């Protein structure tokens, strides 16, 4: 045995604690790679929010075996929240101090296996709820906050502010898709580990939820299907509508907590309704309109009162490693930004015609999935004046182009609305994330939707985009919906 190992490490090797595997666990998890020689598994029995028993098996170096034994001893008999708070530093302390150089991976390995066992427990508890979407039904607690943590500075400071305000906080990171190792996608394997480490450094319990099936069904398939149907989707809106807030509420109910929090720049006003944040340049109310009102009543947005520069300063002053992380990508599951390539991996696009507004054929295209209303580049035809995509017709496989003026609309039809306030309070509408509100009057279309009559024209409104209505002072979200073609 190398002299560098502490007496505590040797003790765990000679007298391993809680080794083995449970026959009927509440959850089981594995981490590591047999090709590299180190693999750890944990199985846990959880009853009444307590880890009644935790067992481990480790195949690998002595440091990994000892770390598994130490971690199992640390979490056995603890409450689930306390067990999820155990950090690499705690395991290191139980082993008598820092491990020899090159052996620090043992701490990450065994903690990841344990947390995958917790993740498996939540998946079994939720059943189809984390595939179809959680709709409530659990017991809402009187206090406590589940804070969604993506690995970025905004979500980390959100959790920190809540803790410093005296709230009981549990952090959660969602596995939404198979992010590439080493990428900064919000749910890549490395980012999950980073978010967990950040939470533990703040003394917070951390959980992960596997939402891959739900995210694929309600966000990724919708994204691809929208382009196939000639619409322009917003995956962040779909994720907020069907995934993040529902999953956070599920975990809050299971832990006996009341609130859910995210790092969005927004505020919750009376009603409840959404209100714009202090930092207008970071306003995210546009992508939050589909949150069900009953979940908005439980939502907390601590960053609504801060500017982004203040958030980064707080992270720096508190010594958070996320202080200088770059801004997150627009589409988390398309790290290279090439949405056309992503869509074409799923859709077999068929070629068609590029026509003008009178129907004259100007050229050919390789598939309507490559086009969206307002697009100028990549159309594939030349003209004396710039051409823009004004309409996508998937049924006839036609892409219609015209002048910039042809993109102007004075009427927007909206379906699938979610109202926070009475519709009559809507006085302006915003139809793209980076666009401003335009004064309007709204009227029911007689088919379950609404029509916004605009006081001034708006360019390039596409079916599938969100239309969000604001109050007379422009500060509160009255409601929102999806832009539709005709009465679709």
User: In the 3-class helix/strand/coil scheme, how is 237-287 assigned residue by residue?
Assistant: HHHHHHCHHHHHHHHHHHHCEEEEECCCCCEEECCCEEECCCCHHHCCHHH
Phi, psi of 249 (to 5 degrees): -65, -40
Q: Is 332 a catalytic residue?
A: yes
Reply yes or no on whether the pLDDT at 357 is more than 70: yes
211 and 116 assigned to the same domain: no
**Is 150 marked as a binding-site residue?**
yes
State the DSSP code for 219: I
Q: Does 139 share its domain with 248?
A: yes
Is 368 inside any structural domain? yes
Identify the pLDDT of residue 34. 60
Mean of per-residue pLDDT scores for the chain: 92
pLDDT tens for 444-485 read: 999 899 999 999 999 989 999 999 999 999 999 999 999 997
Per the structure, the complete domain to which residue 206 belongs is given by 129-324
Residue 344 in any domain: the answer is no
Report whether pLDDT(408) > 90.
yes
151 is in an annotated binding site: yes
Same domain for 374 and 436: no
Give the model's pLDDT for residue 460. Answer: 87
Where a domain ends, among 324, 339, 373?
324
Q: Enumerate residues 6+ apart whose C-beta is below 8 A from 8.
A: 66, 70, 94, 95, 96
Q: Do 316 and 305 have their domain in common?
A: yes
Domain membership of residue 68 (yes or no) is yes
Residue 237, domain member (yes or no): yes
**Residue 140 shares a structural domain with residue 265:** yes
Is 263 annotated as contributing to ligand binding? yes
Backbone angles phi, psi at 265, to 5 degrees: -90, 95
Confidence of residue 69 (pLDDT cuts 50, 70, 90): very high
Q: What angle do CA 180, 132, 153 make, to 5 degrees?
A: 40
Does the annotation place 118 within a ligand binding site? no
What span, in angstroms and rounded, lies between the C-alpha atoms of 27 and 377? 51
* HSE-up of residue 337 (Cα within 13 Å, Cβ side): 3
Query: 220 in a domain, yes or no?
Result: yes
Residue 149, annotated as binding a ligand:
yes
Q: Which of 64, 186, 187, 239 is catalytic?
A: 239
pLDDT of residue 183: 46
Do both 101 and 161 map to the same domain? no
pLDDT at 98 over 60: yes
**Mean pLDDT of the region 21-39:** 88
pLDDT for 4: 79
Share of the chain above pLDDT 70, in %: 94
Known active-site residue 236: no
Q: What CATH number is attached to the domain comprising 452?
A: 2.40.30.10
CA torsion 454→304→232→173, rounded to 10°?
A: -160
Residue 35 confidence class, pLDDT cut points 50, 70, 90:
low
Q: Choosing from 186, 236, 332, 440, which is the catalytic residue? A: 332
**What pLDDT is stored for residue 159 in this prediction?**
98
Residue 434 lies in a domain: yes
Q: How confident is the model at residue 388 (pLDDT cuts 50, 70, 90)?
A: very high
**pLDDT tier for residue 277 given thresholds of 50, 70 and 90:** very high
pTM of the predicted structure, to 2 decimals: 0.92
Give the bridge partners for 355, in sequence order. 361, 400
Instruction: Please tell me the least confidently modeled range out of 33-42, 70-79, 158-167, 380-389.
Output: 33-42
Q: Worst-scoring range by mean pLDDT, 75-79, 337-341, 359-363, 389-393?
A: 337-341
Task: Give the pLDDT of residue 486.
Answer: 59
Q: What total number of domains does the chain contain?
A: 4
pLDDT at 203 over 90: yes
Ligand-binding site membership of 152 (annotated) = yes
Are 208 and 173 contacting, i.e. CB atoms less than 8 angstroms apart? yes
Are residues 243 and 303 located together in one domain of the fold? yes
> How much is the average pLDDT of 101-130?
93
Is 309 part of a structural domain of the chain?
yes
How far is it, in rounded angstroms, from Cα 468 to Cα 488? 19
Tell me how far apart the alpha carbons of residues 264 and 282 are, in angstroms, rounded to a whole number: 9
Confirm whether 333 is domain-assigned: no
154 marked among binding-site residues: yes
C-alpha to C-alpha distances, 416 to 156, 222, 458, 460, nearest whole angstrom: 33, 15, 21, 20
Alpha-helix runs per DSSP H in 369-449: none
pLDDT confidence bin for 294, thresholds 50/70/90 = very high
pLDDT at residue 120, rounded to an integer: 98
- Same domain, residue pair 303 and 277: yes
Residues in the chain: 488
Indicate if the pLDDT at residue 188 is higher than 60: no
Q: Is 416 annotated as a binding residue?
A: no
């Amino acid at each position: 045995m190398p002299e560098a190992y502490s007496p505590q490490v040797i003790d765990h090797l000679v007298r391993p604690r809680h080794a083995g595997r449970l026959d009927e666990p509440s959850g089981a998890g594995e981490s590591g790679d047999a090709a590299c020689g180190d693999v750890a598994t944990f199985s846990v029995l959880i009853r009444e929010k307590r880890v009644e028993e935790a067992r481990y098996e480790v195949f690998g170096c002595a440091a990994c075996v000892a770390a598994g034994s130490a971690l199992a001893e640390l979490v056995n008999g603890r409450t689930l929240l306390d067990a999820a708070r155990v950090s690499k530093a705690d395991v290191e302390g139980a082993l008598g101090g820092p491990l020899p150089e090159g052996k620090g991976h043992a701490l990450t390995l065994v903690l990841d296996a344990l947390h995958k066992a917790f993740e498996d427990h939540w998946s079994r508890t939720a059943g189809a709820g984390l595939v179809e979407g959680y709709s409530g039904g659990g017991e809402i607690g009187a206090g406590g906050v589940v804070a969604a943590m993506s690995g970025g500075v905004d979500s980390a400071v959100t959790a920190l502010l809540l803790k410093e305000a005296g709230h009981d906080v549990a952090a959660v990171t969602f596995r939404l898709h198979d992010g590439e190792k080493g990428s900064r996608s919000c749910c890549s394997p490395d980012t999950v580990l980073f978010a967990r480490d950040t939470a533990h450094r703040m003394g917070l319990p951390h959980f992960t939820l596997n939402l891959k099936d739900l995210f694929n069904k309600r966000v990724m398939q919708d994204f691809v299907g929208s382009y196939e149907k000639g619409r322009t989707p917003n995956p962040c809106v779909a994720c907020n509508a069907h995934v993040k807030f529902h999953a956070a509420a599920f975990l809050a109910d299971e832990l006996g907590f009341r609130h859910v929090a995210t790092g969005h720049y927004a505020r919750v006003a009376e009603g409840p309704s959404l209100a714009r944040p202090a930092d207008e340049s970071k306003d995210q109310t546009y992508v939050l309109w589909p949150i069900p009102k009953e979940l908005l009543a439980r939502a907390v947005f601590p960053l609504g009162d801060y500017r982004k520069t203040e958030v980064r300063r707080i992270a720096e002053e508190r010594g958070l490693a996320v202080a200088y992380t770059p801004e997150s990508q627009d589409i988390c599951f398309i790290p290279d930004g090439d949405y056309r390539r992503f869509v074409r991996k799923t859709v077999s696009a068929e070629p068609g015609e590029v026509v003008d507004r009178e129907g004259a054929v100007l050229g050919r295209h390789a598939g309507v999935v490559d086009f969206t209303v307002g697009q100028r580049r990549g159309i594939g035809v030349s003209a004396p004046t710039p051409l823009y995509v004004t309409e996508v017709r998937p049924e006839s496989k036609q892409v219609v182009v015209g002048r910039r003026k042809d993109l102007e609309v004075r009427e927007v039809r909206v379906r699938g609305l979610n109202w926070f306030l009475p519709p009559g309070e809507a006085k302006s509408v915003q139809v793209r994330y980076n666009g401003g509100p335009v004064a309007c009057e709204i009227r029911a279309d007689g088919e379950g939707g609404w029509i916004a009559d605009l006081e001034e024209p708006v360019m390039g409104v596409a079916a599938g985009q969100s239309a969000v209505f604001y109050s007379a002072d422009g500060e509160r979200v009255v409601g929102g919906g999806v832009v539709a073609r005709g009465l679709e």
